[in-house]
Amino acid sequence: MNSHRNRKIWAAALLGLLATAGTTACGSDHEPATQSAVSRDPVVVDTAVAEIIEVPLVSTATGSAEPWRRVSPGTKLLGRINEVFVREGDHVEKGQLLATLESRDLEAAVAQARASVTMAEASLENAEAQHQRMIDLHEQRSVTDKNLEDATAGFRVARASLEVARANLAAAEVMISYAEVHTPVSGWVISKLVESGDMSAPGAPMFVIEDLSRIKVTVTVPETEVASLEVGSSAEVFIDILGDKVAAKIDRVMPAGDRATRTFAVQLLLDNPDGAIKSGMFARVGFTHGNRSALVVPETSIVRRGQLEGILVVGSENVAHLRWVKLGRRFDTDVEVLSGLDAGDRYLISPPGTVGDGAPVTAR
């Protein structure tokens, strides 16, 4: 009885081991999908042959987007700020009024200067008439030479006095113009440093305004690359946060480098008419230095399993085999394969989800 029971136990254990071995044999360390998910019937797929082509030899550098121009308007006057008309974030046009200062004393000075001009003009008219009378009388020998000389000198003094009065009026008008703060450029108000009622200080900035109609990006490149970069050459700027690639021109290549790092500063300019690129955004710059050879495949051919990337390659037996690959630079809709795929290998251009490692396929 016991021997019969032992035989049943040994038989069950043997069946369990066989089942475990069968499960292990059916599994694969490189299987990208479950066995049930892989089609056992041949699937018609599009394939292509991997080939090496010429691609641009590109180097990259990183920097930040900066405004083309940044200005800090202020005033030459020491006075109380009467009113501020803008806030941070406002867009302003060139010449727009930003703030005004109390200017009653300056208005009085302008009025006084205008009155002085009026008086000087009247004095000049009188001196000119007196001078002309002396000339006429002198021709008739009715006055002496000394009388004519005095009249001539009086006319010259009156004319000079008018010029002085007009200069004083111009100076007063210039001073009162400082009571109004205007923006010298169109752009965005980045910072407002004063409020109504504050005292202005001569020469102290009151606002910070950035002109973002164009953007400059400054990056550093190693000395091995700077020799191939020229002012006016084209480059590509990638603004990651916007997902945009913008054409740019090299504006400056600094002639002096950093002796510690052997790098040189390169400045680029790019148009930004809609203001989408903001000051301070992260930017990557791509410089082209000729061409190089690379193995390139469409991005759609890449199979991803978590952090791993692979390509389904079709052999002579018309079976798809998954190869893990290492990828390099992206080129729009294509990607460079650094390892795991050789030139001449046939691969699936856009593998269906039902096709996995070991699946039979029929190539179009």
For residues 212 and 277, the answer to whether their CB atoms sit within 8 Å is yes
Is the separation of the CB atoms in 46 and 355 below 8 Å? no
What's the pLDDT at 308?
A: 93
Are 173 and 106 in contact by the 8 Å Cβ rule? The answer is no
What is this structure's pTM? 0.64
Q: What angle do CA 351, 353, 357 make, to 5 degrees?
A: 70
Contact of 269 with 252, CB cutoff 8 Å? no
Q: Could you give phi then psi for residue 273, rounded to 5 degrees?
A: -65, -35
The architecture CATH gives domain 105-170: Orthogonal Bundle (1.10)
Show me where the domains of the chain are located. Answer: 32-55+294-363, 59-68+210-290, 73-102+179-205, 105-170
pLDDT value at residue 329: 86
What's the CATH fold of domain 59-68+210-290?
A: Elongation Factor Tu (Ef-tu); domain 3 (2.40.30)
Residues of the chain with pLDDT under 50: 1-39
The pLDDT value recorded for residue 284 is: 92
Longest dimension (CA), the chain: 171
Q: What angle do CA 88, 94, 100 make, to 5 degrees?
A: 65
- Give the per-residue pLDDT at 175: 94
Rounded CA separation 124/120 (Å):
6
Q: Are strands 263-271 and 244-253 parallel, antiparallel or unpaired?
A: antiparallel
What is the distance, to the nearest Å, from the Cα of residue 192 to the centroid of all Cα atoms in its chain?
23
CB 329 within 8 A of CB 321: no
CATH class of 32-55+294-363: mainly beta
Residue 278's alpha-carbon distances to 198, 217, 239, 298, in angstroms, are 30, 12, 10, 33
Residues 6+ apart with CB under 8 A from 358: 28, 31, 38, 319, 320, 321
Whether 62 and 283 have beta carbons less than 8 Å apart is answered as: yes
Which tokens is 345 given?
A: 């290998």
- At 133 the pLDDT is 92
Side-chain half-sphere CA neighbours of 31 within 13 A: 16
Q: Which of 322, 362, 359 is nearest to 341 (CA)?
A: 322
Residues in a beta bridge with 217: 65, 268
Angle between helix 145-177 and 104-139 (nearest 10): 160
Q: What is the 3-state secondary structure (H, E, C) of the chain?
A: CHHHHHHHHHHHHHHHHHHHHHHHHHCCCCCCCCHHHCCCCCEEECEEECCEEEEEEEEEEEEEEEEEEEECCECCCCEEEEEECCCCCCEECCCCEEEEECCHHHHHHHHHHHHHHHHHHHHHHHHHHHHHHHHHHHHCCCCCHHHHHHHHHHHHHHHHHHHHHHHHHHHHHHHHHCCEEECCCCEEEEEECCCCCCEECCCCECEEEEEEEEEEEEEEEEHHHHCCCCCCCEEEEEECCCCEEEEEEEEEECCCCECCCCEEEEEEEEECCCCCCCCCCEEEEEEEEEEEEEEEEEHHHEEEECCEEEEEEECCCCEEEEEECEEEEEECCEEEEEECCCCCCEEECCCCCCCCCCCEEEEC
CATH class label, 73-102+179-205: mainly beta
